[in-house]
Structure 1
Amino acid sequence: MGSVQHYFATKDQMMIFALIHVHERIYQRVNACLDPRSPRDLVRSAIIEMLPLDDERRTEARIALAFLARSAVDPEYAATLREGYPYHAVFFAEQIRRAQQNGEAPADLVPEQEAVILFAITQGLVNPTLIGHHTEETVIDALDRHLNRVFRGG
């Protein structure tokens, strides 16, 4: 306990540090996947890194869930959480736009709207997967089916 208190004056500081650490780990894993692959593959890789499909990602999802629960009643936590959301939307929208330019996604899609939907689907899969309601196969199948709707030739 003393060593934790040496680094963090409050439990809130420790929680915020943990969330930032989780986001950095996910960001590093996603960046490790970023090579000149198709926009669909990049989006798929990024989403898979956010899903609790192994022990490491389940631990991260538990931390994020605890933070989310606290953010529902604490404006400071909510503000911290909101800061990270635009990065996902921008990344997804950029990949959809890139796919449209390459003829790999329908031209009539609105990238920003599709990005919101992709993020919502991702978040909607996290908790049921975390509690064991969905198997990895079910989650991957659902993700691939939706990505095939957004990206041609998936």
Structure 2
Amino acid sequence: MPKVVDHDERRHAIAEAVRRIAADRGLEGVSLGEVAAEAGVSKGLVQHYFSTKDEMLRFATSTLRRQVERRMPGEPMALRDVLVAMLPFDADARTEALVANAFLPRALKDPEIGRRFREGHDDLVGLVASLVSAEQQAGRIAPALDAEPEAELLLALVSGLGDAVLVGHRSPERATALIDRHLARLAP
């Protein structure tokens, strides 16, 4: 009886190998051969699923969002919890941040990867803006503030703090304290 192969599962396993290499060595470490070795499959199998490195990298970026969404707090979401969840405090979050940073230069050159980054950012702005609005309705954030620009500022803060945590400039405790301090400034 022939073995049943889950092609989607194989593609995702290869994408996971791309992410591990990107987190460890950057995109310059990603090659069909290196990915095959990391995934524990033949180079020919990688080429069966991805005819080019670009195709493989594009697919890997399509799976990044799912990784980030897994770390988000469940419903109901609280603004502070979402902001803290985006910071690279554990091994998985650190890997995700390193992978995103490795792909950033590629997003500037590859229209499809760039589009994914922009769409992901726009979705995050929408989520955080809705949480800012919820906090305003609950009386915890000043009602006169415009939710969308505040969301963009909060995401910029989280991005900067995330990079600072990655390189060791800020501890997780200090980064969390800075988020709390900024949220306190938004109170009525």
Separation in structure 1 between the aligned mates of residue 143 and residue 149 of structure 2, nearest angstrom: 13
TM-score (norm 2): 0.70
Separation in structure 2 between the aligned mates of residue 120 and residue 126 of structure 1, nearest angstrom: 10
Tell me the CA shift for residue 88 of structure 1: 0.8
| 1:71 pairs with 2:110 | no
Gaps of 5+ in 1: none
- RMSD over aligned Cα, in angstroms? 1.8
Name which one, 1 or 2, has greater alpha-carbon Rg.
2
Q: 1:150 to 1:74 in 2, by over 3 A?
A: same
Percent of matched pairs sharing the same residue: 37
Q: 1:148 to 1:129 in 2, by over 3 A?
A: same
Equivalences for 1:1-154 in 2 at 5 Å? 1=36, 2=43, 3-30=45-72, 33-36=73-76, 42-151=78-187
Q: 1:96 to 1:78 in 2, by over 3 A?
A: same
Q: Which runs of 4+ in 1 moved over 6 A?
A: none
TM-score (norm 1): 0.84
Separation in structure 2 between the aligned mates of residue 70 and residue 103 of structure 1, nearest angstrom: 42
Separation in structure 2 between the aligned mates of residue 20 and residue 43 of structure 1, nearest angstrom: 25
Does structure 2 conserve the Cα–Cα contact (< 8 Å) formed by 1:52 and 1:129? Answer: yes
Tell me the CA shift for residue 90 of structure 1: 0.8
Separation in structure 1 between the aligned mates of residue 187 and residue 46 of structure 2, nearest angstrom: 47
Separation in structure 2 between the aligned mates of residue 137 and residue 26 of structure 1, nearest angstrom: 21
Number of residue equivalences: 146
Give the AA of the match of 2:139.
G
CA deviations 1:5-24 (Å, max 9, x no partner) are 23222222222332332321
Q: 1:10 to 1:44 in 2, by over 3 A?
A: farther
Give the AA of the match of 2:49.
Y
Q: 1:148 to 1:13 in 2, by over 3 A?
A: farther
Q: 1:71 to 1:99 in 2, by over 3 A?
A: same
